[in-house]
Structure formats: C-alpha cells, structure tokens
C-alpha cells in the first residue's frame, strides 16, 4: 500500500511538470484528490491493513496529501501568472483614443421654477415656510372652513392614514399653523409636496404646491391683485396679460381664479388653451372671516388674501411640457432638454 502511494506521488509530480493550462490542472487534481480520485481510493484500503501498521500508514498518507496539495497550489499560481503575462503581452490600450467625457447634470425644470419663485416672493417680503406632509384634518380641512360633506374629503380624493390624519392635500394647512403662532401683520408662502389619488397626463399622486398669505389692517383686494400680477409677470414675462375670474373656495370670500395669456397663440385661441386664449394658473381670494376667527384673529380689524398654485402647472406652461408625468419618470432624454 505504501508502494502504491510512493508511485502515485512520483507520477503526479512528473505529470504536473507537463501541465500547460488551468483546465488540465483542474482535471488532474480531480483525478488524484477528488472524491473518486486515485488517492482517495488508496485511502479506503486502510481497512485491510493490520491494526499495528495503520498509524504509520495514516501518517504517510497525510504527509503525502499535504505535499500533493502544496504542489497543486504552486502550479496553480505559476499558471495564473503565466496567463497574466500573456494577457499583458497581447492586450494593448490605445492611448490616442479620445477620453470619455463625463455627463454634466443640470437642475430639474421643477427645481428651477421653485428656486425662481422663492427668489421672487423673498424680494417681496414674504416669509417662506414648510411643514409636515402628514397632517391633521383640523389643519387640512376644518380650520379652512371645508365641511365634512365637501367632496375633497372623500376617500376617493384624499389619502387617509387614520380618521383624523392624512397625507396633506394642500399646503394651506401651513397658513393655519402660521397664523396660530404669529400676530398680524405678516406675509408668508408655503412650498412643498401634496398628495391626491389621481394619475393621468395632468395629475399625479404627488405634486408640488405653493400657498401664499398676507394679513394686515389695510390689505385690500387691490393689493391682492397687484401682488399676484407682479409675481406672474416676473415668471412669464411683462408682456403676458393676466385676468381674474369669479370663483368659489370655502376659505376665501370673495374668491377668484387667475388666468395667464396663452404663450402659444398669445390670446388668439389655439388647441393648447382650448380656443380661449387663456390658461388658468391659480386660485385666490380674500381670506374668509371664519378662517380668521378660527385662529384667533379679529376679522373686524384685520383682513388679507390667500392664493395657491400648482408648481408643476406653472413649469409646464413656462417650458411647454404637455405631460405632468414626465416630471417624475426620470427619463434622461426629457431631463437633457433643460
């Protein structure tokens, strides 16, 4: 048995010298040291050896296995180094090829609009605030004079977390929080994400809103119109005409919607503006006295106005984008345009 081990050792060492690649080396290792290899077969013969000679046989076989394993590892390292040198010799890098230019990113069009509006309202003295996106119904609806029977409070129009907790449907709740913490006069805007269960070319479940509020002793409808005209003309250009139309909102009285002249047809009427020559951009009005009473402000002494607009809509009109979903799909072809 020991003679078989000795011959096996000599044969393996001689064969290793002639192995020329990693595949041949692996095949040889399996043949010798694998579960059904020659060395394993000899080891199984230990049961036929006399008990007094098993210790010596075990010692010799362990030493032989260690030697063979070391030789296989040594040959493996040699073949790997040889293969590496051959690759270095045969593979070349053409250093004359032009380098790959890194793509330069830019601000998202929506981010540009937000930054521009923040600069405009800051210059006009408005305080910019934001608050929780998970809101209580008392701030999102109740304090804004929106009754429980109002359609906007239905499950189909609002994401409720609990009966009195929801994902805010408008940033107007920050107007209530702001008025509760401060005494007039003041002016503020709130900019942030809001949530409604809609998804089509003009609606997404998450979008951005800006709400504005100005409260004081001498704030009039004329102030309200002048400030909003100034904001809109700074966004779209002085040459764009604007108009106000009567409307209804529970938290303002009187209320109005504001339109801007269509940038495509310049008021002549086209498919974009549905032949009217105008595009609606925001809702606004004088703050309802009930809202002021609810936050502890005397409506006999103070009055003011509020307005709200969707930032995606402003961006779409400003850059000629026709699908709201493009803002959130992260398509590089769309983003590269800006």
Strand partners, 285: 255, 306
* 253 marked as part of a ligand binding site: yes
CB 250 within 8 A of CB 150: yes
Tokens of 303: 């009055």
Tokens of 98: 């032009």
Write out the DSSP string of 90-133: H----TTSPP-PPPP----HHHHHHHHHHHHHHHTTPEEE---S
Strand partners, 216: 303
| Of residues 66, 91, 79, 67, the one with CA closest to residue 26 | 79
Q: Which helix (H) or strand (E) holds 293?
A: helix 289-294
CB 187 within 8 A of CB 224: no
How many Å apart are CA 194 and CA 133, to the nearest integer?
7
Apex 283 CA angle, 300 and 309, nearest 5: 120
Q: Which residues are annotated as a binding site?
A: 253
Q: Which residues are annotated as a binding site for Mg(2+)?
A: 253
């Amino acid at each position: 048995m020991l003679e078989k081990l000795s011959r096996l050792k000599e044969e393996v060492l001689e064969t290793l010298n002639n192995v020329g690649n990693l595949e041949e080396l692996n095949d040889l290792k399996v043949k010798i040291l694998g579960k059904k290899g020659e060395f394993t077969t000899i080891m199984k013969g230990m049961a036929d050896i006399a008990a007094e000679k098993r210790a010596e046989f075990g010692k010799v076989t362990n030493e032989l296995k260690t030697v063979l394993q070391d030789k296989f590892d040594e040959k493996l390292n040699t073949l790997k180094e040889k293969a590496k040198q051959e690759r270095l010799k045969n593979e070349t890098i053409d250093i004359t090829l032009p380098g790959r230019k890194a793509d330069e990113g830019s601000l998202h069009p929506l981010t540009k609009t937000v930054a521009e509006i923040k600069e405009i309202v800051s210059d006009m003295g408005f305080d910019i605030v934001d608050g929780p996106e998970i809101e209580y119904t008392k701030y999102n609806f109740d304090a804004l004079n929106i009754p429980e029977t109002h359609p906007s409070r239905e499950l189909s129009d609002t994401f409720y977390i609990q009966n009195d907790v929801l994902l805010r449907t408008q940033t107007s709740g920050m107007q209530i929080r702001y008025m509760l913490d401060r005494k007039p006069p003041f002016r503020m805007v709130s900019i942030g994400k809001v949530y409604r269960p809609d998804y089509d070319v003009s609606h997404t479940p998450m979008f951005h809103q800006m709400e504005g509020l100005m409260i004081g002793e001498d704030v009039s409808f004329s102030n309200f119109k002048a400030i909003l005209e100034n904001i809109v003309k700074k966004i779209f250009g002085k040459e764009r005409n604007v108009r106000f139309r009567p409307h209804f909102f529970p938290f303002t009285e009187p209320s109005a919607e504001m339109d801007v002249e269509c940038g495509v047809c310049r008021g002549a009427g086209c498919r974009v503006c549905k032949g009217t020559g105008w595009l609606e951009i925001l809702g606004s009005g004088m703050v309802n006295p009930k809202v002021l009473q609810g936050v502890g402000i005397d409506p006999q002494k103070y009055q003011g106005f509020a307005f709200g607009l969707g930032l995606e809509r402003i961006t779409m009109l400003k850059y000629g984008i026709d699908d709201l979903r493009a803002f959130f799909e992260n398509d590089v072809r769309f983003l590269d345009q800006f």
